[in-house]
Structure 1
Amino acid sequence: FDGDSSLRQWVGEAFPVAISDVIDSHLLNERNTTATEISVAMNELLGNIPSGGRRDSKWWKFANFSARSFLGNYALCGAPKFHVP
């Protein structure tokens, strides 16, 4: 996270759908400044995982996601580094 953005704002900008509805609400607490990893595993997500992009793009935030972050989401597709179809 950078600047004054919170985890809730980051998630809202990074995901076009209300993914915040499926993420542990503790992680989205505005006062929680210690979260260092987000996992969207086991949420039955579907679609293409953005693969990074330029730093000034809203998609660059996905550059540090690991394959482990997406375990159990069998309808996802994306870059080979995510190990999804």
Structure 2
Amino acid sequence: QAANYAKTGAATRVLIVGYTDTSGSAAYNLGLSNRRSRTVADALVAQGVNGGVIALDGKGETALAKPTADGVREPLNRRATIDINF
């Protein structure tokens, strides 16, 4: 849906932000969140979104959707968000 929306409206910027839960070290999770955002970007480009308008960010475990203690596996925190601007 995000790819179709971005293509239909001729997006000027697509920001993808990756997040993780708190299992693993903070440094590992930061890298994982960056890889997660890259994976989403690659999927959007494969579906025809202009890669030149895509920006990536990784927040690691710093912006939890569901607050948890350190070392807790929480699927809701393992996510990527896509913001599309026209």
**TM band (smaller chain):** under 0.3
Q: TM-score, normalised on structure 2? A: 0.25
Bigger RCO of structures 1 and 2 (CA < 8 A, at least 6 apart): 2
The structure whose residues are more often strand, as a share, is: 2
